[in-house]
């Protein structure tokens, strides 16, 4: 589980370090951002998602909603995905417990999400 939690550490650093750059473009990550994770994900990944949501709450001063259904996602979402649950066009991470970060437009057809940052997790 420590390795999985470490996989999200670079993203937390990314959020804090490049948030101004993201905000200057077309994607803003802030408290209305939702965090999507498939309910079929295992316990360690679910725990890592909750930890990330807790860290984001500390940064934004308001809770970030964790959702398990794309229809509940906000206009901007963070999507924790595994190699089998990722949008088309998102590269599959390779290696042992790697993290791939990529922004996508309209990640789920029919969902209110307009943009998502996909956190692609690879586990063996």
Q: pLDDT digit string (tens) for 89-116?
A: 666 666 665 777 778 888 888 888 888 8
| Residue, of 29 and 24, whose pLDDT is higher | 29
Neighbours of 71 (CB within 10 A): 10
* Residue 61, phi-psi category: left (phi > 0), alpha (psi -120 to 50), beta (remainder): left
The string of pLDDT tens digits covering residues 26-42 is 677 888 889 999 888 88
Structure tokens at 18: 């490049």
Q: What is the pLDDT of residue 92?
A: 65
pTM of the full structure: 0.70
Max distance between CA atoms of the chain, in angstroms, equals 37
Instruction: For residue range 31-89, list pLDDT tens digits in order.
Output: 888 999 988 888 888 888 899 899 989 988 998 899 999 899 988 888 887 666 666 66
**DSSP one-letter string for 27-51:** ---STT-EEEE-TTS-HHHHHHHHH
**Domain definitions of the chain by residue range:** 2-122
Is the domain spanning 2-122 CATH 3.30.379.10? The answer is: yes
């Amino acid at each position: 589980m420590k390795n999985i939690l470490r996989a999200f550490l670079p993203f937390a650093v990314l959020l804090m370090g490049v948030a101004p750059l993201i905000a200057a473009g077309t994607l803003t990550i802030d408290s209305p951002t939702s965090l999507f994770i498939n309910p079929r994900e295992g316990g360690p990944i679910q725990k890592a998602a909750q930890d990330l949501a807790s860290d984001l709450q500390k940064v934004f001063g308001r809770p970030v909603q964790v959702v398990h259904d794309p229809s509940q996602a906000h206009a901007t979402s963070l999507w924790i995905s595994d190699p089998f649950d990722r949008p088309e066009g998102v590269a599959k991470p390779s290696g042992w417990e790697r993290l791939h970060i990529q922004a996508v437009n309209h990640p789920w057809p029919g969902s209110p999400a307009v943009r998502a940052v996909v956190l692609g997790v690879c586990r063996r």
